[in-house]
Each structure stands twice: as structure tokens, then as C-alpha cells.
Amino acid sequence: MLLSVPLFFSCREEENTIGLPPENNLGIFFVEIPLRDYVSQVWVDDISSRARDAMLVGSYTDENFGFIKAEHFSEVLLPEVNPGKRFQADASFDSLVLEMRINGVTGNQMLFTEQGIEVYQLADTIQAFEKNYFNYSTQEVGLKLGEKTFFVYPDSVNLNFSDTNLPDSSDERSLYDTNGDYIYMTRVTLDPAFGEQFFQEMKTDTTSSSKFSSSTDFAAYFKGLNLRSPQTNSAILRYSPFDGRTRMVVYYSQVEDDTLRQKSVKFAFSRTINYNNIAPNRDQGWMGSDFDEINSFYEQIQLDTGYAYVQAGTNLFLSMDMTPFKLFADTVANPIIQSAVLLFEDIAGEQDDEGTALELPNFLSFRITTKDSLEAGYYDVIPEVFSEFPRSNVEYNEDINGYRVEIPLYLQSVLTGRNKFDQVIITVSDIDPASGQIRAENRSFKRFIADKDNMKIRLYYTIPDANTE
């Protein structure tokens, strides 16, 4: 493969210019470089799954990516010190309910399969500061608190009122939020015996040493919750701890002004002390995918399917080896890159048919590293000097049904040997709300599939003194 590169470049140099023969006075040349032989997969297992603003629960089978599953672990927050102090003597327990607003869904054939959720109490608290959490992280659970099966209709998730034909009445508007988006809820009634005990603990002990007297005491008592699917579902549901409608609620009744009224105490999910377990991971490999042979991490693996794959959530990345392009400089003396564009065109992956919700990434991030660094577990190495590679998010381009990024400075630095970071890593990306930095996205299952023949670099270059002999 390496020996063919100089010949490849020298041939294309003669064939492709911008409409001018090679001996023209401008000396501008064009070449289109297929990337098929330079593309490989990299699976990563150490992207944090903690505090991702996503409570992921369920499973589904993807035609290309196989069986995908997620479960969530979270601390539950005390709303105030000793909330039971507000209870009257006649206050009585009604129910303990998990209420969660669906903010997103990924899956297929959802109209024909019931989704299932099981709720467990954790056996111990989540270690907030002593431990990191990744896709394979898990912990022991205790009492099963409840379960529910239901159908989900993806067309209703985030449906905007303006896209409906409903009459603009207060009754209809009450089902939508202030942005006009449909409030799609999942409600799971938890074990009545546990709920009664939980309520009585709140009501009977309101001292400074009660289980509800501080967030630390409450966490030690309640531990937290685990949400999982009890069966093979056809969807992974996404909830958000930032949504005020996602919470655990104690409903109780008491007499006020001679009227029996129902009241509630709302316990929010923690926004920071939570994590997702997502499979495939190091404990459960790829099953039923196009690439079940991938079973190691930070290894560049070339597939013979003819396609390249990227997916958020499972942390399946794409790698491009730029080292062969250094041989271009051996074939063409001192080339100067005038324009260079990296293109992924006519990609596949999005499906929004009835009962199916599979999304393309809105943004990709392009990182650089070396082979040695990648083998050592570093897919994103920041050089001592600026890398010349545009690290910003690259947005999906509808015109080419793919992604396009300008890389002239980076490619020039690689060709001249000035830049040792010759491995490009492509990930689905988003913005970390806390730091504002671009990060590998780990809170959805957006993915794309690219025919390797539609992955290329288009390059314009000049040769100094090419026409002065």
C-alpha cells in the first residue's frame, strides 16, 4: 500500500487540475485522494459516563450496530431538611411514584414492542469523589421497588404544539410546556409497603439526627435508584435530571380547612451524582453487529465490510492514518497546500420511519494523536504547539449528506514532517455544559455509516518554481 502512494499521486497530478494543464503558468494542481485503505475503527472504554444530563434506560437491536443496552444509577436529593415537619398528625400515605419526562428515544419497531422499566434501590451509595464512572461501571442493587411495561410512540417525543392540529385551548395547552413541546411522561408506582415505611420515617422523626436531617444522612439511608429494562426492549429512553418533571414523589393526604387534600413531597434526581452503564462494553461485547470481531480497546482495526462506523454512547470511533501522505512530499518536491478538504459524503444511518428513531450526529469532532499514544490509551493528544487541525465541532452538511472540514494547514504540516500527530480520530461530539469544552458525546446513540469509497480528501496544491526551469 505504501509503495502505491507515490505512483497514485504522480498519476493524479497529471490528470486533475482546476482546468489548466500541468505546465500552465499558475502551476495549480488538483488531486482527490480516496481514504478507503487508511480508515479503521477504534473502540474506547474510558469516556466518563457520569453526569451526562441523560438518564438512559432500555435496549434495542440495531441492524448494523447490534444489541445496545443502557441502565442508569442515580442519587436522589433531599428537597429540604426534615420535609415531614410539614405533615399534620392526620397525614396519611397515598403512594410513592417515579415520574419521569421522556426527552429522547432511540430504537426501532417500537410500535410493536412493549417497553419495560424496573426500579431498584441501590445497596450502597454512589461514591461521588472516590471513583470514576465509565460505560462498564455498575454496582450492587437491593430491593426491587417497582416495574412497568408500556408502549412508546416516538412521534410524540418532543412534539411541538405548532405541529399539531389541536385547538388552541387551555386544556390542550396544559399537555405542553412553555416551549410548546409535548410533556411525555413515564410513571412507575413503587412498592406500597416501602412507600408507607418511607413516609412514616419522614413523619415520625423530624429531629436533628433523623434520616432526613441532611443530604448526607438521607443519602446514607435511601442510597439511590437503579433504572433498568427487565426484558429485550425495542428502545432506549432518555430522561433528564435537569427536567423538573423528572422526580420521585411521595403523595399523601391530610385535612386542611375541613377538606381532605392531597399533598406531595418531590425528590429530584441528582444532576451530578449519577452515571449510565452502556453495553457493549468491556464486560459485554458486540452482539449481532457488522463488526462483532472488535473486542479490544484503542486498537486500530480495519474492517472488510467496505463501510466505516461511528456511534455515540458505545464510544465507537473512526481512525484515519495520515502517515502515507508523507510520501507525497517524496514524489512532489516541496508541495504547498492551497486547499484541502476532508469529506464524508452520502452517509447512511438516519431512520425516522413510523416506530423507528435512529439519528445522525449533529456534530463530529476531529482529534489528533500518534500511533504510540493511541496504543497507550490517548485518542486526543494536544501538541506543545498548535496542531493546525480545526478541533471545533463540524456540523452535519445537508447538501452533501455528510461532513466537510477544511484541513490545509494540518495536511501541510504532516506532509513536511513538522507535525508528528498523524492519526486523526473522529467522534460524535457535544459541548460540556460545565467547561464549555468539546467532548466525545456519551449521552445518546447517534451514529452514521459511511461507504469507504465516499470518504476522501480533495486537495489543491502548487509547486514552487515548477515552471521556472
469 found inside a domain: no
From residue 28, give the alpha-carbon distance in Å to each of 11, 409, 464.
15, 17, 10
Least confident residue range of 17-31, 285-299, 427-441, 450-464: 17-31
452 found inside a domain: yes
| Contact status, residue 87 vs residue 254, Cβ threshold 8 Å | yes
Mean pLDDT of the chain: 88
Q: Are residues 24 and 86 in the same domain?
A: no
Q: How many domains does the chain have?
A: 2
Q: Are residues 145 and 83 in the same domain?
A: yes
From the number of C-beta atoms within 10 Å of its C-beta (0-12, 13-18, 19+), residue 53 rates as middle
The pLDDT, as a whole number, for residue 417 is 81
- Evaluate if residue 236 carries a pLDDT over 90: yes
Q: Distance between CA atoms of 74 and 90, rounded to whole angstroms?
A: 33
From residue 242, give the alpha-carbon distance in Å to each of 223, 405, 421.
20, 33, 38
Q: Are residues 222 and 359 in the same domain?
A: no
| Contact status, residue 456 vs residue 36, Cβ threshold 8 Å | no
| Model confidence band, residue 27 (pLDDT cutoffs 50, 70, 90) | confident
| Model confidence band, residue 231 (pLDDT cutoffs 50, 70, 90) | confident
170 found inside a domain: yes
Over residues 79-84, mean pLDDT:
97
Least confident residue range of 19-28, 110-119, 285-294, 347-356: 19-28
- Evaluate if residue 21 carries a pLDDT over 50: no
Q: Are residues 86 and 221 in the same domain?
A: yes
Over residues 212-216, mean pLDDT:
96
CB proximity list for 385: less than 8 A, separation 6 or greater: none
User: Of residues 18 and 453, which shows the higher confidence score?
Assistant: 453
Q: Are residues 79 and 210 in the same domain?
A: yes
445 found inside a domain: yes
CB proximity list for 65: less than 8 A, separation 6 or greater: 286, 289, 290, 309, 311, 314, 316, 447
Q: Are residues 30 and 59 in the same domain?
A: no
Q: Are residues 133 and 14 in the same domain?
A: no
Over residues 313-319, mean pLDDT:
97
Could you give the residue ranges of the DSSP H alpha helices within 384-437?
A: 408-415
Range of the domain at 134: 55-279
Q: Are residues 187 and 268 in the same domain?
A: yes
Q: Are residues 30 and 69 in the same domain?
A: no
| Model confidence band, residue 10 (pLDDT cutoffs 50, 70, 90) | very low
348 found inside a domain: yes
* Unique residue bearing C-alpha cell 472488510: 304
188 found inside a domain: yes
Single-letter amino acid code for the residue at 449:
I
Tell which of 231, 264, 279 closes a domain. Answer: 279
For Cα atoms 74, 223, 52, give the angle at the middle one, nearest 5 degrees. 15
| Contact status, residue 67 vs residue 288, Cβ threshold 8 Å | yes
48 found inside a domain: no
Reduced to 3 states, what is the DSSP secondary structure of residue 218?
helix
Over residues 114-122, mean pLDDT:
97
Tell which of 234, 263, 279 closes a domain. Answer: 279
The pLDDT, as a whole number, for residue 298 is 96
Q: What DSSP state is assigned to residue 434?
A: T
Provide DSSP, 306-325: SEEEEETTTTEEEEEE-GGG
The pLDDT, as a whole number, for residue 391 is 60
Over residues 290-315, mean pLDDT:
97
Q: Are residues 249 and 335 in the same domain?
A: no
290 found inside a domain: no
Q: Are residues 235 and 312 in the same domain?
A: no
Q: Are residues 225 and 338 in the same domain?
A: no
